[in-house]
Amino acid sequence: MVSLAISQSKPIDLQPKDTVPKTQEYGLRVGVDLSKILRARLNENYTGLELVGDYRFKQNLYLAAELGTEKITIQENLYNFTTSGSYLKAGVDFNIYENWFGMNNLIHVGGRYAFSTFSNTLNNYQIFSTNRYFENEQFAFGSDIAEEFSGLNASWIEAVIGTKVELFSNVYLGASVRLGILITNSESDRFPNLWIPGFNKVTDDSKFGGSYNYSITYFIPLYKKKKEVKVKEKTTIEK
């Protein structure tokens, strides 16, 4: 009698490794905030420009910054004022979106430290009085002589959530919303800071403020790095 035995104990790898290395582009993305340009077109009392940029530091980590200038004139019931100045924001964005290979879209969360220098000009004001001896007037006359308060500054930190979508090769459309909290706020004793460039409106008894932007940016590739791949457990079958 002849017996024949065949056995196979070598495991079979059901997830063979891809021998083609996958790389990702790293570089600088620069552009402009479209919302401020549009706002300046629609509001004659506002001018503003913001340059935006980020640098891909790691696979999902970006160094980011915004540099801007704003000037706005606001009419309130008792007074009219103009605020003019510039600001710088710097921080990081972390991409939480898992792209398919070859895609570079972002859904990012991050933070910024921001600093602004500016001046306020009180263009005119009226005085509210409960004793109104004058007729057909709600407020007493104050002054039409403009008074400038310069050398003002403020700093704040802000949380950022946003997205960047590649429209076509290396061109991205982005949007973000920001919630800021004031750290410092240097202001005049005669006139408070009611609006801060980059921070927007300052409300009474609150250090919080909100802002947003819509950006168009261009990505400048500088170099490539191998894509970091998550290690997965192999599935094997023994026979």
Angle at 68 between CA 171 and CA 119, to 5 degrees: 170
Q: How, if at all, do strands 106-127 and 61-75 pair?
A: unpaired
Rounded Cα gap, residues 23 and 7, in angstroms: 41
Q: What is the pLDDT of residue 11?
A: 59
DSSP 8-state secondary structure symbol assigned to residue 142: E
Rounded Cα gap, residues 178 and 34, in angstroms: 16
Amino acid at 200: N
Is residue 189 helix, strand or coil? Answer: coil
Rounded Cα gap, residues 177 and 238, in angstroms: 53
* 191, two tokens: 């006139």
Torsions phi, psi for 39 (to 5 deg): -60, -40
Q: What is the pLDDT of residue 1?
A: 47
User: Is the CB of residue 166 less than 8 Å from the CB of residue 138?
Assistant: no
User: What does the pLDDT look like over 157-206, one tens digit per residue?
Assistant: 999 999 999 999 999 999 999 999 999 999 998 899 999 999 999 988 88
Q: What is the pLDDT of residue 229?
A: 64
Percent of the chain residues past pLDDT 90, beyond the cut: 65
Amino acid at 50: E
Q: What is the pLDDT of residue 239?
A: 46
Domains of the chain in start order, with CATH, are 23-226 (2.40.160.20)
Low-confidence ranges of the chain (pLDDT < 50): 1-2, 4-7, 135, 235-237, 239
Amino acid at 77: N
Q: What is the pLDDT of residue 14?
A: 56
In Å, what is the CA distance from 33 to each residue of 15, 67, 173, 224?
Answer: 45, 10, 10, 28
DSSP per-residue string spanning 47-76: EEEEEEEEEE-SSSEEEEEEEEEEEEEEE-
Is residue 33 helix, strand or coil? Answer: strand
User: What does the pLDDT look like over 21-40, one tens digit per residue?
Assistant: 678 889 999 999 999 999 99
Rounded Cα gap, residues 110 and 144, in angstroms: 45
Rounded Cα gap, residues 68 and 155, in angstroms: 14
Q: Look at the pTM and tell me if it is higher than 0.75.
A: yes
User: Is the CB of residue 217 less than 8 Å from the CB of residue 30?
Assistant: yes
Is residue 3 helix, strand or coil? Answer: coil
Q: How, if at all, do strands 23-33 and 46-56 pair?
A: antiparallel
Nearest of 15, 19, 8, 17 to residue 235 by alpha carbon: 15
Q: What is the pLDDT of residue 137?
A: 56
